[in-house]
Amino acid sequence: MTKTFTPAAKRGGSLKRNLGLWAIVGLGLGYMTPTVVFDTFGLVARDTNNVVPLAYLVALIVMMFTAVSYGKMSGAIPSAGSAYTYVRESIHPNAGFMVGWTSLIDYMLLPMVNCLIIRSYLEAVFPGTPGWIWVVLYCILVTGVIYFTMRGTSNLNMVLLVFSIVVMVVFVVMVWAQLRDGEGAGSIASTQPFFHEGVQMSAVLTGATIVCFSFIGFDAVTMYVEEAKSPKIVPRAILLTVVLGGAIFLVAGYFTQLRFQNWEVFAPDGDMQFVEDSTLPLIGQFVGGPVLQAVLTAAGFAATLASGLASHASVSRMLLVMGRNNVLPKKFFGHINAKTHTPTFNIVLTGVVSLLAMAFTLEIISAFINFGALIAFTAVNVSVIAWFAIKQGRRKTPKDIFNFIVMPGIGMILTGVLWANLSLGALIGGGAWAALGFVYLVFLTKGFKKKVSAFDEIQPVTGYNKVPEGLDAD
């Protein structure tokens, strides 16, 4: 039976605790958009010299270490708030604020990415219709669904996710048959998608930074801890999201790379439009003609819509936490609608921001997203060391040293390497955003004379207090 809790009338309402393990994993996988492997395939193939699966493998390894750290911290500090919560409690409130501020850029922009991909699909199908029309219609649809029900978000997300994965399985089977008949590499077993002459590790790392934003779904599931049936299922959901998502990306990327050994097939006569926008429609056309092109595009549309629902809902919850703790104006950002049990102001605001998809490209937006995401991932690995090894003193046995120093240390180094390989534009733009956050931090703390308000949830809104006893909740 679904339980709700309303601590005060002025709060307006509460979030419902009704999401099980697979519902949360589904939201995470939906967030990751499985079909994005086809959207960015040409771009990543170009930048890595045709070793797309290797780029995904590198990103998956990095994310696995970081996912373990997320699982440890979500168990120790079961609070909707993610990376900035962990940094605040394990290191310092000001450090937590800065991590939260940089994370805000990727959470706010992820819904825009999905809107942008949908726009590119519909422009390809209806070339005579202005792209801004599709952007507006998409934003109205997604905002409306999430506005009225979180449960509806979960259910619709699962339907769309299952459909897209089924189509991807059909695609892999068709490519398998074509490879067996001599198309592409002419074999289903080859090392070419992972290594061949001319492959450079620096280029692979660049490709890994492009694809790593697709893994952000495992981080986003921590936002649903308030709505999980039990907080204990969240660490398992994190790991399952990474493993299943990574497996989908690797398998799809591997067979696609075998079928298309050179990215230039997507750029006839040097036209880079499809490489820089989305190669999904062309991949479908080359493999199965107009029929598969239509079906694969429909699957991409479904997966992207599922991701749009999940990312839109997650950023709304993030803004809710910030509003409740007066990091942002509480009257607006901290409000939950008593009828819909959703943070309606945040949901509408996210929809308005997504309208900017009219003017940006996928490559630019993904670069900015990765700036914030990789800083957050690095910070969570650091938090494990600070919380367990330093604060709790768990560094005296080989097991503790391995779990709380070596493992997160490796994760920290790996995410740092990817961050260092971001484009110069992403580093400059992200740095400017971080600088703005620092100025805002100085304002909030009156020149560091007072403690900054917490990003983490300090009020029991679903029947329990998500900040464990003994933590500083000021």
φ, ψ (nearest 5 deg) of residue 228? -70, 145
pLDDT at 328: 83
Place of tokens 């620096």: 202
Which residues, in sequence order, are bridge partners of residue 3?
A: 17
pLDDT of residue 12: 43
Q: Answer yes or no: are the C-beta atoms of 466 and 226 closer than 8 Å.
A: yes
Give the pLDDT score at 23: 80
User: In angstroms, what CA-CA distances link 109 with 198, 207, 241?
Assistant: 35, 20, 21
157: amino acid identity, one letter: N
> What's the average pLDDT block by block, 10 residues per block, for the chain (474 residues)?
35 55 80 84 90 95 92 77 81 90 84 86 81 90 79 64 89 95 91 90 90 76 70 83 93 96 81 68 90 90 79 80 80 81 86 86 81 91 95 93 96 91 88 94 90 60 35 39
CA-wise closest residue to 178 among 52, 283, 56: 283
Q: Confirm whether pTM is higher than 0.75.
A: yes
State how far the Cα of 452 lies from the Cα of 29, in Å rounded to an integer.
34
pLDDT score of 359:
79
Cα(84)–Cα(101) distance, integer angstroms: 8
Q: What is the 3-state secondary structure (H, E, C) of the chain?
A: CCECCCCCHHHCCCCCECECHHHHHHHHHHHHCCCHHHHCHHHHHHHHCCCHHHHHHHHHHHHHHHHHHHHHHHHHCCCCCHHHHHHHHHCCHHHHHHHHHHHHHHHHHHHHHHHHHHHHHHHHHCCCCCHHHHHHHHHHHHHHHHHHCHHHHHHHHHHHHHHHHHHHHHHHHHHHHHHHCCCCCCCCCCCCCCCCCCCCHHHHHHHHHHHHHHHHHHHHHHHHCCCECCHHHHHHHHHHHHHHHHHHHHHHHHHHHHHCCCHHHHCHHHCCHHHHCCCHHHHHHHHHHHHHHHHHHHHHHHHHHHHHHHHHHHHHHHHHHHHHCCCCCHHHHCCCCCCCCCCHHHHHHHHHHHHHHHCCCHHHHHHHHHHHHHHHHHHHHHHHHHHHHHHCCCCCCHHHHHHHHHHHHHHHHHHHHHHHCCCHHHHHHHHHHHHHHHHHHHHHCCCCCCCCCCCCCCCCCCCCCCCCCCCCCC
The rounded radius of gyration (Å) of the Cα atoms in the chain is 22
Look at residue 95 in the predicted model and tell me its pLDDT.
92
Question: Which amino acid makes up residue 98?
Answer: M
Instruction: From 46, 110, 103, select the one nearest 70 (Cα to Cα).
Output: 103
d(CA 376, CA 130): 37
Picking from 356, 351, 282, the residue whose alpha carbon sits closest to that of residue 131 is 356
Q: What are phi and psi of 338, to 5 degrees?
A: -65, -25
Candidates 181, 210, 208, 206; CA nearest to 39 is 210
- For residue 39, count CB atoms less than 10 angstroms from its CB and return exposed for 0-12, middle for 13-18, buried for 19 or more: buried
Q: What is the pLDDT of residue 177?
A: 95
Q: Over the stretch 105-142, which tens digit does the pLDDT of each residue have?
A: 887 888 888 888 888 888 877 878 888 899 999 999 88
pLDDT value at residue 279: 83
Q: Which residues make beta-bridge pairs with 19? A: 228
Q: What are the pLDDT digits (tens) for 38-55?
A: 988 988 999 899 999 999
The Cα 172–Cα 170 span in angstroms is: 6
